[in-house]
Structure 1
Amino acid sequence: MTEINPLLQKFDHPPFSKIQAKHFKPAFEKSLEQARKEIDSIVRNPEKATYENTIETLEFSGNLLGRIASIFFNLNSAETTPEIQKLAQDISPLLSEFNNDLLLNFDLFERIKDVFDNRSAHNYSEEQLRLLEKIYKNFTRNGANLDKEKQARLREIDKLLSLASLKFGENVLAETNNFELHISDESELEGIPDSVKDSARELAKEKAKKGYILTLDYPTYIPVMKFGKHRDLRKQMFLGFGSKAFKNNEFNNEKNVLDIVELRLERARLLGFESHADFVLQERMAKSVNNVKTFLDDILEKALPAAKKEIEELEDFALETDGIKEFQKWDKAYYTEKLKQKTFDLDEETLKPYFELNQVIHGMFEITAKLFKLRFEKDKSIEVYHKDVVTYKVYENDKYLATLYADFHPRAGKRDGAWMTTYKDQYKKEGREERPQVSIVCNFSKPTKKQPSLLTFNEVTTLFHEFGHALHAMNAKTNYPSLSGASVYWDFVELPSQLMENWCYEKEALELFAKHYKTGEVIPLEYIEKIKRSSNFMEGLQTARQVSFGKLDMAWHAIESTIGIEDIKTHENKAFADTELLPEVDETCMSTAFGHIFQGGYSSGYYSYKWAEVLDADAFELFKEEGIFNAAVASSYKENILQKGGTVDPMKLYKEFRGREPDPEALLKRAGLV
């Protein structure tokens, strides 16, 4: 009797309890076969190409394949195993081959081109035109106009890129998991919060060791760097974190970085672009490499004088406090926190009791209810991939809007960082509307036997950030899945996420969720005022740091040749030359673990965080002027930004909401740099 494959049965929410790793390969093979048949039916259609029988039919093809892929790759990020990682190496080339077969299908492109060339003869809606242009460009930007020989090379490049990117991520995860700093003497952990020590002690017990085990997971690494009094401990942790995939071992990513950069450049050149960045930026608000570089340089010009002054302050403070004569990178977070405490009489540990995870989530939902009339209800009937995951049904005016998966704690099979993803996008088809299934994934401290999960203020803003992305996906109100939710230009996608962070600084919002986990006391007004006053603390350094990441991204992707790149570290140092304010550490390298640009979707797009900050600072000014819970402003934002996805040019959407183009001065003013 043939075993039933749950991935090939009809399902709405992913049937996680039934899915085993062995199900994925046959499910991909079957869904790829089905998707190919769907494409073939478009090509073989004897009727003249129309919007309905070509563009829309193509848009809705491969639905099963897309759903299986979303489940598989989301698990590979959030709950991976050696078996899943091995499968990813096998499956990624199959998907690359299918994608190439699709985008290099001459007969299919001829039908698409026919519809595109005759578009002026039809009264298409703005959304229909956006989809038509997106599909047409997707083909031309992926080799449809190349000759057979160049198309064959493009196929090879895409296959190699998918494997190199996967290997890059696996190496970073392995290096993160392999690092353990075993501490026997508790005195070495002086200054580190008890919650972190409790977790480290529990981990040591799990591994049958006495004392404490420190890891590179963010809930451990960040507090150690901020609060660890022992300088040598901070140095060991810093070197462990900064040398990920840069050591002379099997997980070294230097070759992967160069391979990815060279393949991306060759691919761009095949398609007629000078660089990978030129290729990417053609479909961004920024439009060109020159615009991005000018944007970053302009911000750096404003931030650098402040950053230099702030470093001098830290160096003087460290000398005065502890006699530190040679200030190093592993000192920066510690003395920043100490000086912040001294300046504002405020420290993270004082604030954390007011930010218990469940209470913050409850408040975040309450803020969303006030702004967008949404309601969140836990639903334990929805299957999850790990016991830590919590699911919610989301309602708008009592009508089902979306499903939200929330996964908040670190574990061995989960990569670092925080992200939003979807298991299903919103769209309309044949009179039926499909609502989205959205997931936010973070890495916050686990509850211990002594206390619940308490967040730092930075983690609170991280949660609101990812929730902002989720709101973009959940509120989608479009016809086509590829234009739905966060399917927008990459330098526009961070607007909803970064805008949501602003409510974390407002008294009216904080009072909804910042309550002491033991007493229920609302966070004192003096703390709120200190949070606001300290929000710009060391802003010059923070801005210079973000700009440096954008410059590193451009240094790898705006190049027109890799000739002359001696090695990864030297090239990175050149990129950081304008922003580096502390002595270089030879053992560390950012590029080899820079997942955003070598594994995620941010290649040639890291600048977009700052770009979107301009948008969010300007947008929130309107909320501040009219009231942070003003119904009319919130409704306009929801209608023009959250619901419309990629159906309209983003600048047009922004102007509909704001009444004008964004003003860069809003960001500089908020940051205290002007």
Structure 2
Amino acid sequence: MTSNPFLQTWKTPFEVPPFNDITPDHIGPALDRAFEGHLAEIETIAANTDPVTFENTIDALELAGSLLTKTASVFYNLAGSDTNDALQALERDLAPKMAKHSQAVSLHEGLFSRIEALWAIKDTLDLTSEQARVLDLTRKGFVRAGALLEGDARERIKEIGQRLAVLATQFSQNVLADEQVEALHLTDEADLAGLAPSLVAAAAEAAKERDKQGWVITLSRSLIEPFLIQSTRRDLREAAFGQWTSRGERGGETDNRAIAEETLQLRQERAKLLGYETYAHYKLENEMAKDPSAVRKLLTDVWAPAREMALADQAKLEALAASEGANIKLEAWDWRHYSEKRRQSEFAISDDEVKPYFTLDAMIDAAFATANRLFGLSFKQRDDIPVYHPDVRAFEVLGPSGEHMAVFLGDYYGRMSKRSGAWMSAFRGQRKLGEDVRPIIVNVMNFAKPPKGEAALLTLDDVRTLFHEFGHALHGMLSDVTYPSVAGTSVARDFVELPSQLYEHWLMVPDILRTHARHAQTGAVIPDDLIDRLTAASKYDQGFATVEYVASAMVDLDMHDGTTDGTSDLLAAEAQTLERIGIPSAITMRHRSPHFQHIFSGGSYASGYYSYLWSEVMDADAFAAFKEAGSPFDADVAAKLKTHIYSAGGATDPAALYTAFRGRMPTVDALLAKRGLDKAA
């Protein structure tokens, strides 16, 4: 154990994990030691005979478990972004252990009695607003974990928690296993009909990674979506789309239907034990929405105009296909293909024209430059900072006066060892309690890796993803609170997407584009005419985009608030919702239930997939503040944005934070206008 890196002081720059020294064999023993040490700290807090104070109870609790936090953050980040058989086996083994340990803390009677004693005298303690918020959230967390339950109910809540942890791990690993089976393996050049050279090169690189000849279309969005757009082979589009949408429901060991059904059943049982009508009522209690009715109203208000627009667009796409001699009923694997043709026709835009101006390196610089102009941050690439994979880039983040603010890791290319999607996470969070600790933040994406020596070319959607996740990263890096439990992105689920979605707006600011969007071969600045066409097309196909997203959010809500019963037949419940809302026949959910990792690979977005839309209501209104000030980089608005949104963490109620920034809460009107749905209503 003395040679275990987790049990040593890290002498790396900024104490970044020494990834080259860490093996899966180190993680289990370190966590065993961490569990033991953390419980000893909890016992010490609970057994303290001194009068209860905020310092000897909440402060002590916030600082406890440092080894656990340190080890678990490394483990779970690696398990998601660079996994292997050993890490996956460890993940399965640790899931119930981690849940059991969490329950040993949250259901510790002695600890909870001190929290209750502190709660009873809170009005006499002269707490700061942040301390009052932390105390409130801490007590709620214990109660919602079952601290007030007794007897059989208390034991059952423990069993449910441990079982849900196991199911979440199985669900996630099953999706990854299905994603490692390529959508298509192409061996004949005729199968490449319609594909751009950049996509052909990326598919060849994917084949090389798998030791195969020819070309491989993987299930990463950065490969399969361009294929569905470009391929003129309808049979291959259908085959690829079938692979993409059937993840988690192919039968055999990786089938997730029974796992999801059991998960739904256990969630509802837990909610009932805790006194809630449904799991959705339990989950939404601490969110801005507060209850399912508010979520349903938002989704319904947006669904009606989005569906109307999508149906009108579907008719136009079928007419376009017919004009080319394809007298077809438009299917889901056709939409992107014909929609791109329509977009090119109406706005004279094609990915072939756009992508050369959006190289990965330049867009990273664009995201950094935006943060510099808004918040005074600068980014210095450091080769001496350890990384967990050769493709990862490391940066020191400096503040306006050159002070160290954070470490930022960028992991941009897809690979077989990485789960799909894009996300932000932290290897270390920010806090001031005890000492000033600065964060280590990572962005993970799945862009197609280009052949060696060539630039990675991104679609406009890819660049939006990069800016989106960097917005999350800024939320973590600019965090300026005292208590770790409310630092960075530790906010209400339907508030957490505001900083990320808001940041996307700066991508299309002309100054940013003219400075950073330069042609990969010629270095020419993106033409004003192309910027104008991209801006004009920004609301194009929003009926489709909104329908596929809202359909997923509706299915999520229906399954968790009892509108449908997914506990006995997951796909029947999904179909029931889609039939009720009348989803257009040529559009599917953005995430089918058997691979809906947002809601089944853990519970963070369960009943909460709507939160992207809830946050979009705010982000559309928030960017308008800059427009009203006359500049997307207005210094006064940016300062308020930093103070009340990006730096504030969860130390204040999110509605109060937004109101402090904007002076009021927004309405859905700004969102409808942003998506162009106001004209469809």
TM-score by length of 1: 0.97
Structure 1 residues 352 and 143: alpha-carbon distance in aligned structure 2, compared to 1, 3 A threshold: same
> 1:205 Cα deviation (Å)?
4.6
Q: Which of residues 520, 525, 533 is equivalent to 1:522?
A: 525
Q: Which of residues 629, 636, 641 is equivalent to 1:637?
A: 641
Does the 8 Å CA contact 1:364/1:513 hold for their aligned counterparts? no
Question: What does 1:517-666 align with in structure 2 at a 5 Å threshold?
Answer: 517-559=520-562, 562=565, 567-577=569-579, 578-582=581-585, 590-600=592-602, 601-626=604-629, 627-666=631-670
| Matched residue count | 670
> 1:15 Cα deviation (Å)?
1.1
Partner of 1:407: 411
Which 10-residue stretch deviates more, 91-100 or 201-210? 201-210
Does the 8 Å CA contact 2:164/2:263 hold for their aligned counterparts? yes
Q: Which of residues 457, 460, 464 is equivalent to 2:460?
A: 457
Partner of 2:475: 472
Partner of 1:364: 367
Aligned partners of 1:495, 1:124: CA distance in 2, in Å?
28
Post-superposition Cα deviations, 1:151-206, rounded to whole Å, max 9, x if no partner, equal 11111111110010000010000001023522221122111121221232344455
Question: What does 1:232-271 align with in structure 2 at a 5 Å threshold?
Answer: 232-271=235-274
- Aligned residue type for 1:591: S
- Look up the SS of the partner of 1:192 in the other structure: coil
Aligned partners of 1:620, 1:583: CA distance in 2, in Å?
33
- Look up the SS of the partner of 1:250 in the other structure: helix
Partner of 1:162: 165
TM-score by length of 2: 0.96
Aligned partners of 1:212, 1:661: CA distance in 2, in Å?
50
Structure 1 residues 290 and 368: alpha-carbon distance in aligned structure 2, compared to 1, 3 A threshold: same
- Look up the SS of the partner of 1:162 in the other structure: helix
- Structure 2 residue 331 is the aligned partner of structure 1 residue 332: no
- Look up the SS of the partner of 1:433 in the other structure: coil
- Look up the SS of the partner of 1:597 in the other structure: helix
> 1:211 Cα deviation (Å)?
2.5
> 1:209 Cα deviation (Å)?
4.1
- The runs of 5 or more residues in structure 2 that have no matched partner are none
Aligned partners of 2:49, 2:349: CA distance in 1, in Å?
72
Aligned partners of 2:200, 2:439: CA distance in 1, in Å?
40
> 1:219 Cα deviation (Å)?
2.0
> 1:217 Cα deviation (Å)?
2.0
Does the 8 Å CA contact 2:265/2:567 hold for their aligned counterparts? no
- Structure 2 residue 440 is the aligned partner of structure 1 residue 441: no
Aligned partners of 1:207, 1:273: CA distance in 2, in Å?
49
- Look up the SS of the partner of 2:539 in the other structure: coil
Does the 8 Å CA contact 1:503/1:510 hold for their aligned counterparts? no
- Structure 2 residue 110 is the aligned partner of structure 1 residue 107: yes
Does the 8 Å CA contact 1:352/1:455 hold for their aligned counterparts? yes
Partner of 2:389: 386
> 1:324 Cα deviation (Å)?
3.2
> 1:644 Cα deviation (Å)?
0.9
Cα RMSD after superposing both structures: 1.7
Q: Which of residues 228, 232, 235 is equivalent to 1:229?
A: 232
- Look up the SS of the partner of 1:405 in the other structure: strand
> 1:584 Cα deviation (Å)?
8.5
Partner of 1:423: 427
Structure 1 residues 270 and 332: alpha-carbon distance in aligned structure 2, compared to 1, 3 A threshold: same
Partner of 1:316: 319
Post-superposition Cα deviations, 1:510-530, rounded to whole Å, max 9, x if no partner, equal 112111122221100011011
Question: What does 1:196-211 align with in structure 2 at a 5 Å threshold?
Answer: 196-205=199-208, 207=210, 209-211=212-214
> 1:444 Cα deviation (Å)?
0.8
Aligned partners of 1:178, 1:576: CA distance in 2, in Å?
28
Structure 1 residues 560 and 56: alpha-carbon distance in aligned structure 2, compared to 1, 3 A threshold: farther
- Look up the SS of the partner of 1:383 in the other structure: coil
Which 10-residue stretch deviates more, 295-304 or 29-38? 295-304
> 1:379 Cα deviation (Å)?
1.1
> 1:640 Cα deviation (Å)?
0.9
Aligned partners of 2:210, 2:378: CA distance in 1, in Å?
42
Q: Which of residues 103, 106, 117 is equivalent to 2:120?
A: 117
> 1:561 Cα deviation (Å)?
8.2
Partner of 1:10: 9
Question: What does 1:16-165 align with in structure 2 at a 5 Å threshold?
Answer: 16-165=19-168
Which 10-residue stretch deviates more, 96-105 or 509-518? 509-518
Does the 8 Å CA contact 1:195/1:448 hold for their aligned counterparts? no
Does the 8 Å CA contact 1:569/1:589 hold for their aligned counterparts? no
Aligned partners of 1:345, 1:85: CA distance in 2, in Å?
47
Does the 8 Å CA contact 1:637/1:657 hold for their aligned counterparts? yes
Structure 1 residues 272 and 242: alpha-carbon distance in aligned structure 2, compared to 1, 3 A threshold: same
